[in-house]
């Protein structure tokens, strides 16, 4: 396990992002509680600035840079949520940002990233290497590369969500049995692990992935870095990383109780339930943890479960079609 990223770094990150990130308090629905036979509390990061938890890691990273580094700007590669988080954090800091995004990313994510003032470079996610493009831009311009998950400043920034969960649970007088969170490259999950194994050590932690992108689940089972089939597809565009992160996976491997996976149909159903019962717009990748509960992938009877809703950036047309199904 990485010895350099730790709980103290998450606490430092919380101080760095204070006044920038929104504190998203836990919410619940009596309808969902009744349906699942237990108490379910949701961490609505879909209500975070830029519409996802990614803003936390971006602000933490940029606020940690020296003035000299800030002058040369930042570069990032992302399918959309990290892109918007970095673009807005850079905008607030008054520094330039270049974002490399897949050409097939949801239109709203591309448009919003540009609206935050970033320069957007589009690429083919199936035939081009986004990391190589990012490194090239970094070398040409001297920009600081902010990775979407596999970086300590990024993941400890995401972990601040876990500190807030623990604070809310203490205020509510509850000790959750389990927490489920979306897991792509593992940055949010690793940050939550660092925060919650210290603050809520008895709570079991689970990462949830799309069925054909369950690299972390399979890696936990084999103990090796498992990769996803390059031909795999999913509507969960925020969770399509090729394999677990080199920094994030050792943390997750040490602290997670397991991994779960859900199908696109289960995700669509969860999006409709989130809209109907929570009155929240949650994107496909952001709702996978709720999808796992609704599909019976884990026991919720007489248990208290925390569910992270990690983002709400979904194309209007896709969302309308899913709600209409």
- Give the C-alpha separation, 64 to 66, whole Å: 7
pLDDT digits (tens, 9 = 90+) for 285-302: 999 999 999 999 999 999
pLDDT average, residue stretch 254-261: 98
3-state secondary structure of 260: strand
- Strands in 178-182's sheet, in edge-to-edge order, are 39-44, 304-309, 178-182, 204-210, 258-262
Contact present, 38 and 226 (Cβ < 8 Å): no
Contacts of 283 (CB under 8 A, 6+ apart): 46, 51, 52, 106, 237, 238, 271, 311, 312, 313, 314
Residue 163 has pLDDT above 70, yes or no: yes
pLDDT average, residue stretch 31-59: 98
Tokens of 80: 């959309």
Place of tokens 């400043």: 153
Please give the radius of gyration of the chain, using alpha carbons only, rounded to the nearest integer: 18
Place of tokens 């330039």: 96
What pLDDT, on the 0 to 100 scale, is given for residue 290? Answer: 98
Residue 136 has pLDDT above 60, yes or no: yes
pLDDT digits (tens, 9 = 90+) for 57-71: 999 999 999 999 999
| Angle subtended at Cα 91 by Cα 86 and Cα 96, rounded to the nearest 5 degrees | 80
Confidence of residue 108 (pLDDT cuts 50, 70, 90): confident
pLDDT average, residue stretch 48-63: 98
pLDDT average, residue stretch 310-323: 95
Pairing of strands 304-309, 144-145: unpaired
- The structural architecture, per CATH, of the domain 7-52+155-324 is 3-Layer(aba) Sandwich (3.40)
pLDDT average, residue stretch 26-32: 98
Pairing of strands 204-210, 178-182: parallel
Distance of CA 1 to the CA centre of its chain: 21
Domains 7-52+155-324 and 54-152 share a fold: yes
Residue 171 has pLDDT above 50, yes or no: yes
**In the chain, what are the domain boundaries?**
7-52+155-324, 54-152
Q: Which fold has domain 54-152?
A: Rossmann fold (3.40.50)
Place of tokens 């159903």: 269
Residue 79 has pLDDT above 80, yes or no: no
* C-alpha closest to that of 83 among 96, 100, 64: 100
Confidence of residue 131 (pLDDT cuts 50, 70, 90): confident
What pLDDT, on the 0 to 100 scale, is given for residue 3? Answer: 52
- Crossing angle for the helix pair 248-255 and 215-222, nearest 10 degrees? 60
In the chain, % of residues over pLDDT 70: 99
What pLDDT, on the 0 to 100 scale, is given for residue 1? Answer: 38
What pLDDT, on the 0 to 100 scale, is given for residue 78? Answer: 86
| Angle subtended at Cα 149 by Cα 148 and Cα 151, rounded to the nearest 5 degrees | 105
Contact present, 93 and 70 (Cβ < 8 Å): yes
Tokens of 311: 């983002």
Contact present, 14 and 63 (Cβ < 8 Å): no
């Amino acid at each position: 396990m990485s010895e350099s990223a730790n709980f103290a770094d998450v606490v430092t990150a919380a101080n760095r992002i204070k006044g920038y990130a929104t504190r998203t308090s836990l919410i619940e629905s009596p309808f969902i509680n009744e349906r699942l036979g237990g108490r379910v509390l949701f961490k609505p990061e879909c209500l975070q600035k830029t519409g996802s938890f990614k803003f936390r890691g971006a602000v933490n990273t940029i606020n940690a840079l020296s003035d000299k580094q800030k002058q040369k700007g930042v570069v990032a590669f992302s399918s959309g949520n990290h892109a918007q988080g970095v673009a807005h954090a850079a905008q607030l800091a008054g520094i330039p940002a270049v974002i490399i995004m897949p050409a097939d990313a949801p239109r709203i994510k591309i448009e919003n990233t540009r609206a935050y003032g970033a320069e957007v470079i589009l690429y083919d996610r199936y035939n081009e290497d986004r990391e190589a493009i990012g490194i090239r831009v970094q070398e040409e311009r001297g920009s600081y590369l902010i990775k979407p998950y596999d970086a300590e400043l990024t993941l400890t920034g995401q972990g601040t969500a876990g500190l807030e969960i623990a604070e809310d649970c203490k205020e509510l007088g509850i000790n959750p049995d389990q927490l489920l969170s979306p897991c792509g490259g593992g940055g949010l999950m690793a940050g939550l692990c660092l925060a919650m194994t210290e603050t809520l050590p008895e709570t079991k932690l689970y990462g949830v992935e799309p069925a054909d992108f369950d690299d972390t689940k399979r890696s936990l089972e084999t103990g090796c870095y498992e990769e996803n089939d390059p031909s795999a597809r999913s509507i969960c565009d925020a969770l399509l990383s090729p394999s677990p992160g080199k920094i994030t996976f050792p943390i997750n491997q040490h602290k997670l109780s397991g991994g779960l996976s859900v199908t696109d149909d289960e995700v669509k159903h969860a999006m409709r339930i989130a809209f109907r019962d929570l009155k929240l717009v949650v994107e496909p990748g952001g709702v996978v943890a709720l999808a796992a509960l609704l599909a019976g992938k884990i026991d919720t009877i007489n248990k208290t479960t925390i569910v992270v809703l990690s983002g709400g950036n979904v194309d209007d047309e896709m969302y309308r079609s899913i709600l209409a199904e």
